[in-house]
Amino acid sequence: MSDEFIVQYLKDEQHLDDASIIDFMKDYRSLSDTERSFMIYQMVGKELYKEYPVDIKTFIHDPYFLGSIYSDIIYPIWENTLTEIYPAPFCKKYNEALLSCATRAGKSTTIIISALYEIYLLLCMISPSKTLNIKNSANITFVFLSKDNPTACSQLGEDIHKGLTLSPFFNDVITNNLSFSNLDKKGVQVTDNILLKAGSSVNVITGTDLIFGCLDEANMPSPKIADERLVETRTKLYTAMVDRRNA
């Protein structure tokens, strides 16, 4: 949650004057990320969330969440990366991350854990669509793009399916039948609020209320794309994701 949001909240809801807001923000910025996160929850989170979300380390290692799935296979460097991105539930440090390293280094696992954590944070909300001001309540969308549809569905789709179906938490809160056969077509309706989609073109993104996007294998060639158009094509995908998320 940004400093600008906090300042606006103090003006609109607490009716503080400028001097009081300056004093508050000075004290607020001196707090640790954990302390800031809990303060945000006390100020506005109780009105929007069913409960205070767990931190990313607990989410990864606690058996109720992903502990039985990813606790023993995530590399320390990626756990540290996720902790840097999500130092506390309401204090995400970065809106974008670029993972660039060798194959089989654990990038996909890191991406899926991040996506699952973002889904978890949504499920902790009382009314995700209302909080995010999304009119189409079935269209809070997570998109996974790759060099082609089969890669997007297999490499990422299978992993997120595993997380959603093997985690006791997700089993407790998700009542929909999660069939992933249409992941690259209509998508997978995780809940009435959350939709997963996968593919390799801008069409997958068009018309969505995108909250999370992944562009996997961005530098890998595709039989359908000429080498000289690879950068242009993948840049368009990236730009489309950013534009939809910002909107």
Quote the CA–CA distance of 243 and 172 in Å, as a whole number.
Answer: 34
Q: What is the reported pLDDT for 126?
A: 93
Q: What is the reported pLDDT for 19?
A: 94
Q: What is the reported pLDDT for 201?
A: 86
Tell me the three state secondary structure of residue 222: strand
Please give the DSSP secondary-structure letter assigned to residue 127: -
Residue by residue, pLDDT tens for the chain (247 residues) are 678 888 888 898 889 999 999 999 999 999 999 999 999 899 888 989 999 999 999 999 999 999 999 999 999 999 999 999 999 999 999 989 998 887 778 888 899 999 999 999 999 999 988 888 887 655 899 999 888 888 888 867 788 888 999 999 999 999 888 888 878 888 888 998 899 998 888 888 888 899 999 988 777 767 667 677 778 888 888 898 899 888 8
Strand ranges, E, within 167-228: 188-189, 194-199, 209-215
Q: What is the reported pLDDT for 226?
A: 66
Q: What angle do CA 111, 116, 119 make, to 5 degrees?
A: 130
Sheet holding 188-189, edge to edge: 188-189, 194-199, 140-145, 209-215
pTM value is 0.90
Closest CA to 144 of 154, 134, 133, 131: 154
Please give the DSSP secondary-structure letter assigned to residue 15: -
Q: How many of the other CB atoms lie within 10 Å of CB of 58?
A: 14
Q: What angle do CA 11, 12, 18 make, to 5 degrees?
A: 10
